[in-house]
Chain A
Amino acid sequence: MTAELHEELTDPNADQLDHGAASSRPLKSRISEPQPRGAKVHGNRPIDQSEAANRFIAATEHEAMHDARLWDLRQKRDKEMHGIEEWEELRDLASGIKEHTLSKLDYYLELFEKNATANGIKVHWAKDGAEHNAIVLDILRKKGVERLIKSKSMLTEECGFRHFMAENNVEVIETDLGERIQQLDDEAPSHVVVPAVHKLRTDVAGVFAKTIGSDPDNADAHYLTECQREATRPLILSAQAGMTGGNFVVAETGTFVVCTNEGNADLSANTPSLHIASIGIEKLIPGLDDLAVFVRLLSRSALGSPITQYTSHFRGPREGGEMHVVLVDNGRSERLGMEKFWRGLKCIRCGACMNTCPVFRRSGGLSYGATYAGPIGLIIDPTFNVHKYRNLPYSSTLNGSCTNVCPVKINIHEQIADWRKTLAGEGEISPVKKVMMKAAGEVLASPVVYRASLPLGRSALRHLPHFMLYNKLNTWGRKRDIPETPKQTFNEWYRKNRKQQAEGGKS
């Protein structure tokens, strides 16, 4: 199989072109290293994100590539931002439009339904993932579909769609390269925009060698991409149905919009005569004026490219074709009623918060053990399963970078802090944290007890104060030196050197 390459790309010294999801400078892993796998999932037990993160960090080649790649996307995003004078105004508009739409969501959903139906689209409603899967299966069965091609959709991940279809003997072919890699490796996507970003080229070569028969020793990205194009095309041409997600749904025109870089949504939608789109109910926006704001922000925020290579608008079936839209709730209407957390519904899944998150970049998306990883995951995963995902809001330093890159201005880091409060309030907090904080609260409430707890003057006991060490694991000292304790505290110095004031300052 020979790779047929675009001329610019055959020259290894040429500059990287600055679009698609491309990195702005060449990154290349140096050695092959076994791929660290994601979080260990044990039924409903709380996910231990830091355990998986530590394994990712230990795979130094993977961690370094992942961090550099996503940081580069963040910098490309910054560059785009500086090119657009009205950037912050666009973010305000995007946030305002989403909040407006969510405040009248029932109205806009019905408006969309009316307009889409008038144009020949069949609109379905699913309250959860199971109903979504059943609706789609029913449509496919009626048409005798055995093979379905689909483009990337986080919603179908939420619904466990692929596994359901496999059980029901429908072959599902992912057509996005990253998603296809993940499908062939039987792994979930690790990032909402770049699903295989945690893999090195050698990992991909290994997966393709096993599944589509590529040369196991050839880890060239061009070669591997060409292999999947060649392997997938016949499947695309013979599929009887195509499936896409939807990035935006325009109520006033009955249009849904799908953004891709590969053109795989267009392929999936237009090649077979049956097109099914699965769309979350929060994707609604009122009109075309509003759409412009989001199309301008999406790819710039996600990848630092001005627009995705393909922005596709579907308003009705083509001649002789059939088009279905399945509107899926799956917990969204309930989230709307959560005073502190409904704003998460504004999310347009651009992934900018993941790219900027210092914890995500060092942990890999699979460490979160949930459909949504990174900052946005921390604030929506607990709405799906509060017990299983109760530790995730702690996988953050609350640094707030996410909030400030978010194109729809979701107060992500405040919500992470609010989740901690909510979880602790509901008793969904690990016993170690609970015991430690209870003790800390008591010690710090009393100046006398507090002073007595300090490791003063006893240089042999150079450790953190007891309230930081209540758990038996002194994790501080594993990779960091512990600060030396000086001869006297500030408090002691003050009592000695500012005697008079010390008397006056007593409460």
Chain B
Amino acid sequence: MKVGLFVPCYVDMFHPETGIATLELLERFGLSVEYPVDQTCCGQPMTNTGCEREAAKTEELFVRNFEKYDYIVTPSGSCTNQVRHNMTAIEESDAVKHVRSRTYELVEFLHDVLKVDAFPWAEFPHRVALHNNCNTLRNLRIASMTERREEPFSKPKALLKMVKGIEFADLTRPDECCGFGGTFSVFEEGVSAKMGQDKVTDQLKSGAEYVTSSDSSCMMHQEGCARRMGANLKYIHIAQILNGARA
């Protein structure tokens, strides 16, 4: 199985440790993982703003970079959603179809494709609040949502439960959006920041030491709010915890 690693722009730039953890974690399972160095972005900022035409060349580049892999794995559910559901600016060729159907968010890949049942190296003796990105939750269906009458399930939680020493902190509004919303965070800054502050307040009230998520983008926004508020909370990507980070 040949796996292509997609490291979204935010992660590449601000959280290289998340990219490294994702790579190392996949390598632990004996996979041959490659990171095409000419990658940039999935096109989400433009598509998210409605500028589909402006996204076309970025999407083409994405497909060129990744068409040769059996699976494309990325530590971001929101980018996965973009590729799988919204990469429509370019013609639907076989290569495009292949890339779109083979792109997986890391947690789904571990849970659904590799069906991982242990992380013997992982230990995280901390109280952790889990955040699901809205695209990851409601479009990739990584967990059950409170809006629907359905059997509760959570893929990230199922994986985290295999980590030694971890304790979960419950939020009062577990799947309320944190206000990042891609370009929303810049264009509608006031509401975005207020939603972020409310999310951080909920996390603080839960007694969490750490917040984890399979999406760096939401956490970058939350962390930005938390720092400005002087809140004592740490943010860590789920890939790092699963790869054995201790703190």
Contacts and interface: CB of A to CB of B under 8 A. Distances in A.
Query: In the complex, is A directly touching B at CB under 8 Å?
Result: yes
B183 to A, nearest CB: 8
A20 interface: no
A493 interface: yes
A444 B34 contact: no
Given A424-B50, A480-B225, A493-B20, A82 B149 contact: yes
A398 B54 contact: no
B188 A53 contact: yes
Interface in B1-28: 4, 7, 9, 11-20, 23
B227 to A, nearest CB: 4
Nearest to B190: A54
Interface stretch (B100-108, B112-120, B170-178): B170-178
Interface stretch (A243-251, A305-313, A496-504): A496-504
A450 to B, nearest CB: 5
Contacts of B54: 437-438, 440-441
Interface string A392-436: 011111111101110000000100010111111100010001101
Which of A71, A445, A506 counts the most B-chain CB atoms under 10 A from its CB?
A: A445
A424 B51 contact: yes
Nearest to B186: A475
B189 interface: yes
B164 to A, nearest CB: 27
B126 interface: no
Nearest to A438: B54
A349 B21 CA distance: 47
Contacts of A493: 16, 19-20
Given A441-B57, A441-B58, A444-B58, A476 B37 contact: no
Interface stretch (A155-163, A287-295, A354-362): A354-362
Given A397-B177, A399-B177, A479-B228, A433 B13 contact: no
B234 interface: no
A356 B147 contact: yes
A454 interface: yes
Contacts of B176: 358, 401
Contacts of A398: 48, 134-135, 181-182, 184
Nearest to B43: A444
B165 interface: no
Given A395-B188, A507-B38, A417 B12 contact: no
Nearest to B145: A404
Interface in A443-472: 443-447, 450, 454-455, 465, 467-468, 471
B50 A423 contact: yes
Interface in A175-216: none
B57 A445 contact: yes
B167 interface: no
B80 to A, nearest CB: 15
B195 interface: yes
Given A358-B176, A493-B16, A421 B41 contact: no
Nearest to A352: B147
Contacts of B56: 441
Interface residues of B, number: 85
B49 A495 contact: no
B194 interface: yes
B124 interface: no
Nearest to B221: A480
Contacts of A356: 147
B138 A501 contact: no
A481 B227 contact: yes
Contacts of B154: none
Nearest to A456: B13
Given A444-B58, A476-B224, A394 B187 contact: yes
B149 A394 contact: no
A57 B36 CA distance: 44
B143 interface: no
Contact of B60 (A413, A445, A471, A488): A445
B40 interface: yes
A359 B64 contact: no
A505 B37 contact: yes
B179 A81 contact: no
Given A395-B188, A398-B134, A445 B224 contact: no
B52 A475 contact: no
A88 interface: yes
A502 B39 CA distance: 12
Interface string B122-143: 0000000000001101110000
Contacts of A484: 14
Contacts of B60: 445
Nearest to A71: B173
B181 A397 contact: yes
Contacts of B173: 71
Contacts of B64: 507
A87 interface: yes
Contacts of B39: 447
Nearest to B150: A88
Contact of A363 (B14, B34, B191): B191
A437 B190 contact: no
B16 A490 contact: yes
Interface in A43-97: 49-50, 53-54, 57, 63, 67, 71, 78, 81-82, 84, 87-88
A483 B220 contact: yes
Contacts of A486: 14-17
Nearest to A54: B190
Given A433-B187, A489-B16, A490-B16, A502 B193 contact: no
Given A441-B55, A488-B16, A506-B37, A397 B179 contact: yes
B146 interface: yes
Given A362-B194, A492-B16, A494-B19, 17 more contacts: A88-B150, A359-B195, A394-B49, A398-B135, A413-B138, A424-B52, A438-B51, A441-B51, A441-B58, A447-B37, A447-B40, A465-B9, A475-B186, A488-B16, A490-B35, A494-B23, A501-B34
| A-B interface, 5 closest residue pairs, ranked by CB to CB distance from nearest | A420-B50, A397-B181, A480-B224, A441-B54, A445-B57
